[in-house]
Amino acid sequence: MLEKINERAAGTFQDEIGIRIIELDQGWAVGELLVEKRHLSQGNHLHVGMFTALASTTVTVGMIASYPGQPKVVVSMSANYIRAVDEGETVRAEAQARSRGKTSSVWQVDLYNKERKLLAVVTIDFRIL
């Protein structure tokens, strides 16, 4: 399934910005992003929007694995930024379902650098249609 997920990403936003999904299971997904110059803000650190892009992309893949064939939409997202990230670093997003109900699902995404220092925490709530 992981290979198929990454193949389906060809030409999408995920592919264009360089997010790779590296682990996938029900209630769990891991994505990575190698930070390039194109991902930086004018302050020369990873643009905060890239944290949420990586988190939401990773969670969406986790939702596909957890609710196959079921339509779903994001109803809310909150992000807490802890540490700046520089060009050349890899950001790892570990998404875990905290609640998997019939009509809603809540996920937490912890984003880390290579040294496992916490960079950001993102919470995403889904409605299952």
Give the model confidence (pLDDT) of 63-120 as tens digits.
999 999 999 999 999 999 999 999 999 999 999 999 999 999 999 999 999 999 999 9
Measured CA to CA in angstroms, residue 44 lies from 81, 84, 101, 117 at distances of 16, 10, 41, 19
In terms of residue numbers, what domain contains 68? Answer: 2-128
CATH of the domain at 117: 3.10.129.10
Closest CA to 28 of 93, 125, 101, 84: 93
Q: Which residues are within 8 A (CB) of 126 and not within 5 positions of it... i.e. 6 or more apart?
A: 59, 63, 72, 73, 74, 75, 104, 105, 106, 107
| Count of domains observed in the chain | 1
Predicted pLDDT at 84: 96
